[in-house]
Structure 1
Amino acid sequence: MSPVPSVHHRAAITWLSVYAMIMLVQVVIGPVLTPLPMPLRTLVLTAVVVPVVVYALVPNLLRVHARLRGNRR
C-alpha cells in the first residue's frame, strides 16, 4: 500500500482537476450560459464541475499518482 500523497500533491491534483473542468465546461456550454446572469452561470458551472471533480477526476488522479509513486520505489 502506498502512502497518502502530501497535502501539497492533493492540492495540486485538485486544482488541476478544477481548472481543467472549468475550462471544458466553459468551452462546451459557455455559449449557452452567456445570456444568463452571472450568479446563475456560476450556479450551473459549479453544479457540473464540483461533482465531476469530487467523484471522478480527483479519485482517479490520486490512484494514478499512487501507482506512479509505487513504481518509483
Structure 2
Amino acid sequence: MDPAPRHDSAAPDASTEQVLPPAPPSIHVRAAITWLAIFPLVAIGMMAAAPLMESWHPIFRAMTLTLVVVPTAVYLVLPRLFAVYGFLAKRRSTRLKLATMRPLAEAKEVAHG
C-alpha cells in the first residue's frame, strides 16, 4: 500500500533555489589527491624503516611498507583530503554563483532606477 502523498503547507517560494552539490572530482583530481596522500607516507615510511629493513630483500621491504601505507592512506589520509577538496569546491561554486548573480542584481537596479 502506497503512503498518502504529503502536502506541505509551506510550498517553496519561486525565489528559493535548490543548491546542488558540486560535481565529484575528476579522475585527474583524484589521482593528484591520491598521490598527495601516498608520496609523503612512502617517503616517511622508507626513512623510518630503513635501519630495520636494511638487510631485507627489496620485495619484502616493499610488501611491508605497502601493508602500512595503503591502509593508512585509504582509511585516514584520503578521506580527510577529499573532505578538504569538497569544502574548497563548495566554497568555489558558491563564490562563482554569487559573482554571476551580482551583475544581474546591479542590472535590475539600473533598469528600475
Choose which of 27, 47, 61 in structure 2 pairs with 1:27: 47
Give the number of the structure with larger relative contact order, counting CA–CA contacts within 8 Å between residues 6 or more apart.
1
Choose which of 44, 55, 61 in structure 1 pairs with 2:81: 61
| Structure 2: gaps (5+ residues) | 1-20, 94-113
TM norm structure 2: 0.60
| Structure 1: gaps (5+ residues) | none
- CA distance, structure 2, for counterparts of residue 30 and residue 66 of structure 1: 36
TM norm structure 1: 0.90
Other-structure match for 2:37: 17
1:3 deviates by 2.0
What do residues 8-58 of structure 1 show as CA deviations (whole Å, max 9, x unaligned)? 100001112111110010122222111111111111011011101111111
- CA distance, structure 2, for counterparts of residue 22 and residue 48 of structure 1: 9
Q: Which has the larger radius of gyration?
A: 2
Query: 1:41 is matched by which residue type in structure 2?
Result: R
- CA distance, structure 2, for counterparts of residue 65 and residue 9 of structure 1: 9
Residue correspondences, number: 73
User: What percent of counterpart residues are identical?
Assistant: 34
Structure 1 residue ranges, 4+ long, deviating more than 6 angstroms after superposition:
none
Q: Cα RMSD between the aligned structures?
A: 1.1
